[in-house]
Amino acid sequence: MFYFFKLAAIGIVTVPAALATTLFGLFDPYGKRVYGISRFWSWAILRIVGAPLKVHGLHHLSPKQPYIFMVNHQSNIDIPVLLHGLPAFQLRWIAKKELLWVPFFGWAMWAAKHIAVDRSDRSDALAVLAKARRQIDQGISIVVFPEGTRSSDGRLLPFKRGGFLLAVKTKMPIVPVTINGSGRILPKGDWRIRRGEIEVTVGNPINMENYRPGTIRQLAAEVYGRVAQQLWSTPQTATVQAGPGGPAVAARASIENRTL
């Protein structure tokens, strides 16, 4: 019964927020004006869930600089976590196109100008790149979950290449971000929402000056290693940290060739 009341409260907050975003987003070409609705929604969700947030490393970032945030993905609650945890930035997600069909949430995602990608169409990557460039030109930061899906056990899944190609093409710095605790609060495949603390660790930005399309595997391995280093202890984390040559070398085998 307790879980039911939490879900009901989330619905009560989400439906009007999504409808307002959808309505006003029609007149907002980059989603900047309706972003405040998303921020309020994220704050309300975390309060309802009972998930206090600790954020480390914001001093690494300049609020005037757009970034590409590369984040591990453990739970559906990761989205409000990032919206609330990175308050100085306008954030837009690169997400699978199927999410646009989710009632209310998908409509708001479309109206807020998040970037949807058709994973079944490899040529769609060019359209995604063009959309992301337009957002970045407006000072908007892009969020990529390079695993492409949520991890069911907290382990870091193989990274896909698409977000790294975007960073190399746009020359936007990549910021590795590690979320801990969200998978315990709302695990993949479970609807029961638990209380608990969530910790977000923001790493040093990685400049793209020395990277090009031919070095994407090296770049992805570097980001993989930095994200893995900050994960709360799992067997895989220990392997990555202790691998010969450092975390980036140990992580090289965990880079997929698929795009997004």
pLDDT in tens, 110-128: 999 999 888 777 667 778 8
* Res. 237: pLDDT tops 70: no
Residue 87 CA: distances (Å) to CA of 63, 108, 173: 9, 19, 18
Q: What is the mean pLDDT of residues 22-49?
A: 95
How far apart are alpha carbons 179 and 201 in whole angstroms?
7
Lowest mean pLDDT among 70-84, 112-126, 187-201, 222-236: 112-126
Specify which residues 178 forms β-bridges with.
201
pLDDT for 144 equals 95
Which residues constitute the domain of residue 151?
Answer: 2-254
> CB of 163 within 8 A of CB of 144?
yes
More reliable by pLDDT, 256 or 160: 160
More reliable by pLDDT, 204 or 123: 204
Does residue 259 lie in a domain region? no
Specify the number of domains making up the chain: 1
**Whole-number percent of the chain with pLDDT over 70:** 88
Does residue 181 lie in a domain region? yes
> Domain with 243 in it: what CATH number?
3.40.1130
Does residue 145 lie in a domain region? yes
Does residue 260 lie in a domain region? no
Does residue 169 lie in a domain region? yes
pLDDT band at residue 11, thresholds of 50, 70 and 90?
very high
How far apart are alpha carbons 244 and 235 in whole angstroms?
16
Does residue 194 lie in a domain region? yes
Instruction: Give the best-scoring range by mean pLDDT among 95-104, 139-148, 241-250.
Output: 139-148
How far apart are alpha carbons 165 and 113 in whole angstroms?
21
pLDDT for 216 equals 94
* Res. 258: pLDDT tops 60: no
Specify which residues 95 forms β-bridges with.
116
pLDDT band at residue 251, thresholds of 50, 70 and 90?
very low
Does residue 208 lie in a domain region? yes
Taking each helix axis from N to C end, the angle separating 162-170 and 124-137, rounded to the nearest 10 degrees, works out to: 50
Beta strands in the chain (DSSP E): 53-56, 68-71, 91-96, 115-117, 141-144, 174-180, 198-202
Mean pLDDT of the chain: 88
> CB of 42 within 8 A of CB of 189?
no
Lowest mean pLDDT among 12-16, 118-122, 140-144, 145-149: 118-122
How far apart are alpha carbons 62 and 44 in whole angstroms?
26
Q: Does pTM surpass 0.75?
A: yes
